Structure formats: structure tokens, C-alpha cells
A and B are shown apart, each in its own frame.
Chain A
Amino acid sequence: GAVVSQHPSRVICKSGTSVKIECRSLDFQATTMFWYRQFPKQSLMLMATSNEGSKATYEQGVEKDKFLINHASLTLSTLTVTSAHPEDSSFYICSARDWKWETQYFGPGTRLLVL
């Protein structure tokens, strides 16, 4: 149990385009999901907290108009990187909180490369 999926696993896009990444909890309901960004050889950096049915809470320094988050159901959250630029290239990872066990389970990550 406790499986979280992400789609796509990797994406290459041109500068100026928008990219949507999906995060799904497959066998449990997640009222809260989190989006992280990870640069090579570094730890995970929390970008935002996504709550089902309400607006996301963004960490300091993360532009909410740049990284749009939608958490429309208890099993799906999406992150849209708008007007992507090369500096947005990174590994984006989501996690979903299993409320019963107060633990977070992570997706496999999405590698974004902006040319």
C-alpha cells in the first residue's frame, strides 16, 4: 500500500512553455500533498503545501504565479510550471500525507529539462 505516482516521469520543453505535473495517491486518500524540488546532490526543498479544496500554501521565495498548484480531489494534486525557463530545470517530487499514519509517501519524481 501507500503508493504515490507522478506523471510524467521526465519532460523536455522549450523555454516559455508551461508544463503540468500530476501527483496521485493510488491506494489512500490524501487531504494534504506536498511539492518539493531537488537539485543534484542536495536535499529536498519544500515548495508548497497543497490542501484538498483550498489554496496552496507556498514557502518563502516560491512564486505562486509561477508554480500553480491545484488539489481538486483527495487523490490528485497538480503542479504547473508556467512560462518555464532553463533555471526551472530540476527534479520535482511530490508527497502525499497518509492521515492515518501521519507519514508522507513520495512519488518517483519528475525530471524537468527546459531548453
Chain B
Amino acid sequence: GQQLNQSPQSMFIQEGEDVSMNCTSSSIFNTWLWYKQDPGEGPVLLIALYKAGELTSNGRLTAQFGITRKDSFLNISASIPSDVGIYFCAGQLSGGSNYKLTFGKGTLLTVNP
């Protein structure tokens, strides 16, 4: 089956620094999604990408859908303490009746004030 490799597994940064994380897949996806999960909460959608090569921003967050459709990255600029949490990438191969998401294993982000 499809697998997503998400890296890094964890990051410890100082407030104000920029962050970058990425996901690679063994096969293509039609949609890439980035979620953030706080402890004890469900994942919250940050950015959705629908086209290969697409670059989308949401405030301090920027994500890109790789041109090969097998990878995506998420950048966070000027990090703040509330950015702490686990970030998950997810790929979706839509069409027909298959809308299941394949998740990466997550990147745990810690921001030191």
C-alpha cells in the first residue's frame, strides 16, 4: 500500500525561527493536506493542495504540492509558541469511491520562547 515518509520526526526551535517539514510518497496523490494536532484534540486542517506545482499560503504557513505529485512541504515562518503541536501531512487519491487519507507519522514541533 501507499506509504508516506514525513520528516523530520521532531524539531526544537527558538521563537522567531522558520520551520520546514516535508513528506514523500512511494506513489502519486491527487490532493495533499496538512493538519496540525494539539494534545487531546482532533487534527485541524491548515492547507489543502489540489494541483501539482501549486504553492499556497495561509498566514505564516506556506505549502507546496510537488510537481511529481509524490511530495509536499510545509514551511512556517517566524514561529511563535502557539505553533507547538504535531503536524501531519496526508495524501488523498480521490476519484471513484476512494477518498481515504494516507497520513504521515507526524512532526512534533517544540518552540522555545
A-side residues, CB < 8 A to B, are 2, 4, 6, 32, 34, 42-44, 46, 49, 51, 91, 93, 95, 97, 101-109, 111
Closest to A10 in B: B40
Contact A109 B40 (CB under 8 A): yes
Contact A34 B100 (CB under 8 A): yes
Contact B42 A103 (CB under 8 A): no
Could you list 7 A-B pairs, sorted by A, with CB under 8 Å?
A4-B42, A34-B100, A91-B40, A103-B33, A103-B45, A103-B48, A106-B45
For chain B, residues 41 to 65, give those with C-beta under 8 angstroms from any C-beta of chain A. Answer: 41-45, 48, 50
The stretch among B12-20, B66-74, B101-109 that forms the contact with chain A is B101-109
* A49 vs B97: C-alpha distance when bound (angstroms): 10
Contact B42 A102 (CB under 8 A): no
With a 10 A CB-CB cut-off, give which of A6, A51, A106 has the most chain B CB atoms. A106
Contact A104 B101 (CB under 8 A): yes
* A42 vs B90: C-alpha distance when bound (angstroms): 14
* A57 vs B82: C-alpha distance when bound (angstroms): 37
Q: Which residues of A contact B35 (CB under 8 A)?
A: 106
- B109 CB, nearest partner CB in chain A, Å: 14
B94 CB-CB contact with A under 8 Å: yes
B22 CB-CB contact with A under 8 Å: no
Closest to A32 in B: B99
User: Of the candidates B40, B42, B99, B104, which one forms a contact with A43 in the assembled complex, judged by CB atoms under 8 Å apart?
Assistant: B104
Contact B43 A49 (CB under 8 A): no
Contact B40 A103 (CB under 8 A): no
Q: Which residues of A contact B103 (CB under 8 A)?
A: 43-44
Q: A102-B92, A102-B94 are in contact. Are A109 and B100 (CB under 8 A)?
A: no
Contact A109 B41 (CB under 8 A): yes
* A114 vs B75: C-alpha distance when bound (angstroms): 40
* A6 vs B106: C-alpha distance when bound (angstroms): 23
Closest to B106 in A: A43
